[in-house]
Structure 1
């Protein structure tokens, strides 16, 4: 429950405040990119980083399907409120459904196979999957960033204006997530998990959606990729700091 309160009640309020400087017509593509990426909680590599910091990665993994379904329902609502109905009408749901199948249904099937392997002669597969989790995550991130890095480098002046938003978001949300975890009296591992899910955003899933927007929003994908680059630095820092701060 704490994870849902933080991601679907606290985060939209923070995002609304942080995006007010980008409400002009000239900044519309920047605003849409910000809204897409900041309003969607992460459902993939947050689990890896949470585990590296000693957080309850298993509990986040269990909540992943519900987080994905909730953002599929609520993201159009937030977009309509913050950016207008025109943006919602421009969104194609095909990429979102495809992402749901590959990032939620696929991993759930893989998890079922892994659990079966632990109870059979194929037990070694469980350890193999665990060892491959971090390398595979880094490969996916590298491919996604590489696919858009030319655009970021060629038009860096526009996306760089949203970097302060991402930095402030990364400073504010750990405080809010930590406060929510303390209010809920969560134990240490769950407390750390709430802090991580409060910060990490769903850039890998929303990027296909943003890429499918009309040409008027050609800057929006660069805004999403810029968030990924900033967040990776934040995650590396949090993996070191959160275990020291949340004991």
Structure 2
């Protein structure tokens, strides 16, 4: 496939994802009773999405990403050093309300591992290196996120968050999809049937992403009724985060002396957040924190629109 064809395909993906969010939000607004019934579908469809994402990362590529110390070090630094510092500075001005703050912290402290690849590719970033680093970023955020939340929330965290949902998310959304993906790769290497299955599974990535976004939007939009004011108050912070991280990521890329495609990938991984994977954690919070999942989903809506701007901005920052 030519570079032009790939860019056209990726632009179609962006339109599909925006359409899926719009359709899901419309369904959730017009048929709010459907929301609770759709929530149990989030984890299975998300696990399937991550399975086909990991399927694109050969085990050898993961080993290569671990040896690509400069890029991996920059990706870890921008996500787990720079981002927490930016969030700490912003958190002084976060809206009042523990549920709002917890939802914002959950989503802002976790780097994205799925649709970031599409937007990064559209901007000429190194999708191969970013894709190879995906399992490392997922593992790191699941290990570090509880500690970050404790630093920001202190003893209050123990009263509202339990270790069970974190462990369940780690096993079902990371360990299981990654293990199944590597087993599928081993099957594909030894069998024509396995290769055909792996190829067919790879084509399901776009429909699964669209299904995930639509399901999330439809299940969470009904919770906006009566909460529009508090939820709207978090939007400016998500916009500021995107603006700050564009230049913070650029700084990390330059300090790390990366080439242009790798530098663009660092900007994108620092700016995009993992709302889909942390959403199950927000959904597991007590009832009085029901607004936290909506705060997480709101970040997705802001970010997808922001990524459309990033696709034009980042090539100008790193020409």
Q: Which runs of 5+ in 1 are unaligned?
A: none
Q: Give distance in 1, aligned partners of 2:158 and 2:81.
A: 20
| Other-structure match for 1:147 | 219
| Other-structure match for 2:230 | 158
| Other-structure match for 1:71 | 141
What's the offset of the Cα at 1:119? 6.6
What's the offset of the Cα at 1:110? 2.2
- Is the 8 Å Cα contact of residues 64 and 104 (structure 1) preserved in structure 2? no
CA RMSD of aligned residues (A): 2.3
| 1:216 matches 2:284 | no
Q: Give distance in 2, aligned partners of 1:236 and 1:128.
A: 29
Range with greater deviation from structure 2 (192-201 or 148-157): 148-157
Range with greater deviation from structure 2 (139-148 or 82-91): 82-91
TM-score w.r.t. the length of structure 2 is 0.69
| Other-structure match for 2:113 | 43
Q: Secondary structure at the match of 2:266?
A: helix
Change (3 A) 1:204 1:125: same
| Other-structure match for 2:243 | 171
| Other-structure match for 1:104 | 174
Range with greater deviation from structure 2 (185-194 or 116-125): 116-125
How many residues were matched structurally? 245
Change (3 A) 1:186 1:67: same
Q: C-alpha offsets along residues 163-185 of structure 1, whole Å, 9 cap, x if unaligned?
A: 00000000010111111111111
| 1:242 matches 2:310 | no
Q: Give distance in 1, aligned partners of 2:261 and 2:118.
A: 14
TM-score w.r.t. the length of structure 1 is 0.88
Q: Which runs of 5+ in 2 are unaligned?
A: 1-72
Q: Give distance in 1, aligned partners of 2:177 and 2:123.
A: 22
Q: Secondary structure at the match of 1:22?
A: coil
